[in-house]
Structure 1
Amino acid sequence: MLTIHHLGRSQSERIIWLCEELGVPYRLERYARDPVTILAPPALRALHPSGTAPVITEGALVLAESGAIVAYILARHGGGRLAPGPDHPDFAAYLYWLHYANGTLQPAMGRAMILGRLDLAPDNPVLRAIQGRLARAFAQVEARLGQAEYLAGDALTAADIVSVFSLTTMRLFQPVDLAPYPAIQAYLQRIGARDAYRRAMRAGDPDMAPLLT
């Protein structure tokens, strides 16, 4: 059976949600962050050289990196669901937003979080550049969700599953006010109404209310 090694309040929530949407059976191993460093504990770091979450195991397989895990689960267990094929009209949009999540949106959040901890002056040029990049990233998501119900089009896909963490839980570490983004807010309400999403969040982080506003 597939085992998801889940670090609380981390990108591994994506994998739980994906499995819930697909109805893939899984076993969940939960890990708490180190209270001082806020990093993964030794038991999770020992699973894979990356030392980060998520990690899955299935038989002899040990796999890290959320994007690789999503691709693996879709290929092995997806049966064509949540991933439009090359003949689908939303195929290009799906690919773009699937890779935008880890290529642009999440890195912008992470860089802003790190710089925010350095107590830099508000007019620091590097800080301002990163803040501008983060604002542009959110503006692009906002524009897209003003055109479509979901990032790839009219239906939920894996592009949404890998993107929602940055719009929700990641804001615990790098706050972003969603007031200027009404389309994102409406989108998150649609996500929060999904039974599979609610089950995933209860399973992975039962003590945390999802950041949907």
Structure 2
Amino acid sequence: MPELTIYHLEGRRSERLVWLMEELNLPYNLVFERGSLAGSMAKIKAVNPDMPMAPTVTLGAQVLVESGAIIELLLGRYAPNELHPPIDSDEYASYLMWMHYAEGSLAARLIADYRTWLKEPPTERSRLVDSEATVQFAENYLAKNAWFGGEDFSAADIMMLFPLTLATSLNIVDEAQFPKIALWKEKAVARPAYKRMLEKARPDGMIGMLPKLPSHAPAGPRR
């Protein structure tokens, strides 16, 4: 395996790659300035001036972004039998859906609603798919499955933890409405590899947190 370096911002999506490498017990370098998002971003810009974002990864001579794509690449090349269901199983289809749902549907909707509701708090559900609907879709799946890859922990769980934590920590949705997600989170963050990730990638806890919304959209049917 070529040398892998993860350029990191504390509390951001780059944690996914640190967690992955800890789960796989594969070697990596971790680069960030402890306690300084600006300092860490300067390190990212030095290696990736065209698209300075976290995670930025160097794999040998290549510079890569997008956590989901990097996870799929690393698993496919260096851990083909790890952290996903068998490719010919029904569970693999669900696993792959959640791998992409995490950013493509869930995080995108959460961030869009957050930005809107920060300026104008919601008074009713949207007619369209809103944050509560995207989170409820995950809740419904976990009502029937232990993990987002089916019966076993997988990289899909690594992808899903960030947006589902964002949803509740910023009060975009009411955490009390999603008990299955709450139980799943407890299991995910109890994993030894996750705890090692926190020690290495978030040694001082969260820094630079966004403000919580004063209120989330009311629960109930869309209008």
Q: AA paired with 1:193?
A: A
Aligned residues: 201
Matches within 5 A, 1:126-145: 129=126, 133-145=130-142
Answer whether contact 1:112 1:131 (CA < 8 A) is retained. Answer: no
Alignment match, 2:37: 33
Partner of 1:199: 196
Report the counterpart of residue 47 of structure 1 in structure 2.
Answer: 47
CA, structure 1 residues 41+171, in 2 after alignment: closer, same or farther (shift >3 Å)? farther
TM-score with structure 1 setting the length:
0.85
Alignment of 1:100-111 (within 5 A): 100-111=101-112
| Residue 155 (structure 1) aligned with residue 152 (structure 2) | yes
Residue 59 in 1 paired to residue 60 in 2?
yes
Whether the 8 Å CA contact 1:104–1:137 is kept in 2: the answer is: yes
8 Å contact from structure 1 (residues 7, 30) kept in 2: yes
Q: How does 1:50-89 map to 2 (within 5 A)?
A: 50-89=51-90
Structure 2: gaps of 5 or more residues = 207-223
Moved more, 24-33 or 180-189: 24-33
Cα deviation for residue 47 of structure 1 reads 2.3
State which drifts further: 172-181 or 158-167.
172-181
Cα distance in structure 2, aligned partners of 1:159 and 1:130: 29
Amino acid of the residue matched to residue 12 of structure 2?
Answer: S
1:184 correspondence with 2:186: no
Q: Hey, what's the Cα distance between the residues in 2 that align with 1:122 and 1:150? A: 31
Deviation of 1:91 (Å): 1.3
Aligned-CA RMSD value? 2.3
| Corresponding position of 2:211 | none
Q: Between 51-60 and 108-117, report the one with greater CA deviation.
A: 108-117
Gap change, CA 1:59 and 1:168, over 3 Å in 2: same
Return the offset for 1:85.
3.4
Gaps of 5+ in 1: none
- Partner of 1:179, secondary structure, is helix
- Give yes or no for contact 1:148–1:154 (8 Å, CA) kept in 2: yes
CA distance, structure 2, for counterparts of residue 26 and residue 130 of structure 1: 45
TM-score by length of 2: 0.81
| Structure 1 CA distance for aligned equivalents of residues 32 and 134 of structure 2 | 31
Deviation at 1:86, TM superposition (A): 2.6
Deviations 1:120-168 (A, max 9, x none): 2635x9xx53995100011011111111110121001111111111122
- Residues 4 and 57 of structure 1 are in contact (CA less than 8 Å); yes or no, is this contact kept in structure 2? yes
